[in-house]
Structures are given as C-alpha cells and as structure tokens.
Amino acid sequence: MFFKVHQLIFLVVLFSGSMISLSANSWFTVWLGLEINLMSMIPLILIKLNPKLTESAIKYFLAQAMASILMIFSVTLNFFFYNIITLDAMELLLISSISMKLGAAPFHFWFPQVTVGLNWTQNILIFTWQKVAPFFVIMTLSSKYLILISMFSALVGALGGFNQLVMKLTMTYSSISHTGWMLSASLLSENFWLSYFFMYSLLSIVIIHFFMKNSIYKINQVFSCSDSTLNKYVAAMNILSLGGLPPLMGFIAKLSVIIILVKKNMIVMFLIMITASLISLFFYVRIIYSSMMSNTKTFKNKTHAFKPFSSLFFLSVFFNLMCPVMFFLT
C-alpha cells in the first residue's frame, strides 16, 4: 500500500480534485474538480503496463467521461433552454451522470469490469474516496429518482454478489449494495451519510488489507492463509459486520437508516432495503462458512502468534464492540 513519489503527486492531485468539487459554488467548478480527479486516477491505475490494468483504465475512463459529458450537457441545457425543456428531463440527466460516477445501479455496468482487473490498493480508492465528491454533489439535489436508484442499487448489489467466488467481484457488488444504503442515508441527513460512509470505509479497508496481505483472491482462501488465528477471526467479524449481522457496527448503521425510514412512513423503501440486506448478508455468511468448512483441518491445526496487521485492526474491533453499546445507551 506504499506509493512512489510520482504516485503520491497524482494522489495529492486526486484529493485536490475532490476538494474542488466539494467547495464549488457552480456546476462548472464541480465538473472541473471531477475531471481533475479523473485525470489523476488514470495514472494511478496504470502503475504497470499490462493488459489487465490497461483494459481497466480504458473502461474507467470511458465510463467516467460519459458521465461527465452527461453532466455538462444537462447543466448546459438548464442554462440555455430553461424555459423550453422540462426540469424533469434535465434533472434525470444530472442524476444519471452522478449515479454513473458512483457506480450505482442501473449505471453500474462498468464497475465490476473495472475493479476485477485492478489491484486491491486501487480498488480501495474506487470503493471509498472516489465516492466522496459525487455523494456531496448528489446531496445538494432532492429528487424522487434518488429513491429509485438507492433501492435498485441495494437489490442489484445483493443479487449480483449472490453467486460470486472471486473476492474482488464480491467486494464490488458489496460496494454497489452499500452505495444504495448510503444514498438512502444521504436523503435523510448528512450526519447519517457521514457515519455510514465512515463505517463502510473502515470495514472495507480492513477487509481488503487482510485480503491483500494474504494474497486472497477467491472465497475458499480466506481461512486457508497462514495468518494468525486472531486476525482471521477479526477479518470474519468485519466481513459479517459489513453484511449487517447484529449486533455489530454494520447492523447499527443500517438500523439507524431503517428507523428513520419507518418514521418517515417510507414503508416500500423500508421493505426493499430490508430484503436486499438479508440477501446480501447470505453471501457474506457464505464467505465465512465456505472457507471454514473447506479448510477445517488447516484452520484447526495452524496456531500462530498474535500479529495484528495494522492499527486499523484495533479500530475496527473497538467500533464493532462499542457501537452497539453506545447505540442502545442513547
């Protein structure tokens, strides 16, 4: 996860592009910040010239460029033809462009094809930081289309990850599913979105760090690696927490969103999100169950010393244990 000097420069530009979009006071500046972010992400993908990274970089560029074209097109239409074209059409174009940048369904067609060819470090950036600017942009809009996109993303992410054996694809569809939950949280409050995004980012980084450290690429390798037993249990806890298993941190984040949905009488959205969460929880549990059952002897016989893989190890354990306590005490 260490970057070279020229990669750090592009990483700084990447963050700067997102910050430009966050602090913008016009749609043109938002678009400019997103383009700077895109142009700095491409060199970070092409750290090595091989067919997989090149293909992923081209697909990522084409998808993001198409989203940018839709965004500037909708803003231009709004500026020049405000009295001629209906606001619904312009709003739909704008929502579609931002959803495509997020990788939200039904504009997720590029997401699995890109992430499967990238390494884990690049996927961490796409799963976490690359969602920040589009989410802040989308929170400035209040549209009925966002409700549909959030429900559709939760369902597509749950069903898409149902039969995946490759961990990169599993984490990708998990990201699509959680994007739907984060969209729901963003419709309710910025604070809900921030807490949910923090939970998702922390768990994803810790899980992906575990996969990367142990060269895990398929579902049956999770417990067959030579890491310490404690690290494996913590990784299993984080995976289940990401799936929303009670009473872990991921469940508390989803429960907070569900409570607000019920209070606002959004019953249809509540039922769809609950159904999607149950489906997605199945393939998270399957990761743990399949790995333990297929490698029972290896798992039992290997005893290793306590070697936590990073300081995020302790942070994830702390929040998974303390969030339920803090939630039920308040």
pLDDT per position as a tens digit, 56-67: 999 999 999 999
Alpha-helical runs (H) found in the chain: 5-22, 27-45, 51-80, 87-102, 111-115, 120-127, 132-138, 144-160, 167-188, 190-213, 229-243, 249-263, 267-294, 296-301, 311-329
Q: pLDDT tens-digit profile of 164-191? A: 888 999 999 999 999 999 999 988 888 8
Residue 179 tokens read as 């994007």
Average pLDDT, rounded, for the chain: 85
Amino acid at 7: Q
* Mean pLDDT across 224-237: 79
Burial class (CB in 10 A: 0-12, 13-18, 19+), 73: middle
Mean pLDDT of 152-171: 91
Angle at 37 between CA 31 and CA 128, to 5 degrees: 110
If you average pLDDT over residues 227-255, what whole number do you get? 86
Whether pTM exceeds 0.75: yes
Other CB atoms within 10 Å distance of the CB of residue 173: 25
Q: What is the pLDDT of residue 300?
A: 45
Per-residue pLDDT tens for 2-35?
567 778 899 999 999 999 999 988 888 999 999 9
* Candidate from 140-149, 217-226, 242-251, 256-265 with smallest mean pLDDT: 217-226
Q: What is the rounded CA–CA span in Å between residue 86 and residue 90?
A: 7
Q: Can you give the pLDDT at residue 181? A: 94
Q: How far is CA 195 from the centre of its chain?
A: 14
Confidence of residue 83 (pLDDT cuts 50, 70, 90): low
C-alpha distances in angstroms, 81 versus 75, 90, 119, 187? 10, 10, 44, 28
Q: State whether residue 248 is helix, strand or coil.
A: coil
- Residue 84 CA to residue 263 CA, distance in Å, equals 39
* pLDDT of res. 254: 92
Q: Sorting pLDDT into bands at 50, 70 and 90, what band is 290?
A: low
Q: What is the pLDDT of residue 305?
A: 42
- The answer to whether the bond into 246 is cis (omega within 30° of 0) is no
The pLDDT of residue 315: 80
**In the chain, domain spans:** 5-329
pLDDT tens, 91-131? 888 899 999 999 998 999 999 999 999 999 999 999 999 99
Query: In the chain, what percentage of residues exceed pLDDT 70?
Result: 88
Confidence of residue 296 (pLDDT cuts 50, 70, 90): very low
- Give the per-residue pLDDT at 183: 93
